[in-house]
Amino acid sequence: MTITITAFERSPDGGKGLARDSRVRWALEEVGQPYEVRLVSFRAMKEKAHLALHPFGQIPTYEEGDFALFETGAIVLHIAERYSGLLPDDANARARAISWMFAALNTVEPPILELVTARIFEADRPWSKDRLPLVMDRVRERLNQLSARLGDAEWLDGAFDAGDLMMASVLLRLRASGLLDEYPNLAAYVARGEARPAYQRAFAAQLAVNAR
């Protein structure tokens, strides 16, 4: 059955890996599943047809016949459960990989999103200068903890899995802030993720859309 995802017709970052369809593309590339992409404009995302797929009017979505999903956590988990390559066989190791996916989305991503908001959308507010260091410290707190846990390991829990895919996807959004460079082991971890052939194919496909 054909898999179709949605992505930005024009991504605000020019298709350089920040829009969240890249996580889904990466997961599909890791498990070797071909997929089609339906591009949507910002306007179309808020219209009825897209809202039926995604109640919050966002990308990405995932369709397989009449089955549809939204939220990257749910989509990547679905892909990882349906196809082999992203979750370990051992039941406990699988559960731990899923913990890391949740940690990426619920514990690490929120302060990073706050930082993106502070640096870009609130930069011209009078209180922005005072607030930014606080927001950066909240991100650092999480990065300190994650860096300590990762240590010298290649991946978070043994071999690369869906937890690493999600964590690296979340962390790479930090690159422009310079914060990732404060943590050499995390910067190297993200670089290892980006060096994976599946990531490279996903990145190239997203960039190609925006280079048209």
Task: Catalog residues that contact ligand GSH under the rule CB under 6 A.
Answer: 19-20, 45, 57-59, 71-72
At 83, the amino acid letter reads Y
Sign of CA dihedral 28, 37, 71, 177: positive
Task: Give 59 or 77: the residue with its C-beta nearer to ligand GSH.
Answer: 59
Q: Cβ of residue 153: shortest distance to ligand GSH, in angstroms? A: 26
Is the separation of the CB atoms in 66 and 130 below 8 Å? no
Query: Token digits for 80?
Result: 């990882």
Nearer Cβ to ligand GSH (177/183): 177
Least Å distance, CB 82 to ligand GSH, is: 18
CA distances from 70 to 2, 31, 77, 121 (A): 17, 19, 11, 25
Q: Report the residue number, 168 or 183, with the smaller CB distance to ligand GSH.
A: 168
* Rounded alpha-carbon distances, angstroms, from residue 47 to 16, 77, 191: 26, 27, 37
Residue of closest CB approach to ligand GSH? 58
Shortest Å distance, C-beta 151 to ligand GSH: 28
Q: Which residues contact 30 (CB under 8 A, 6 or more apart)?
A: 85, 86, 165, 196, 198
Structure token pair of residue 159: 């071999």
CA distance 167 to 189: 10
Q: Which is nearer to ligand GSH, 64 or 182 (CB)?
A: 64
Closer residue to ligand GSH, CB minimum distance, 166 or 190: 166
For ligand GSH, the closer CB: 73 or 193: 73
To ligand GSH, the closest distance from the beta carbon of 91 in angstroms equals 26
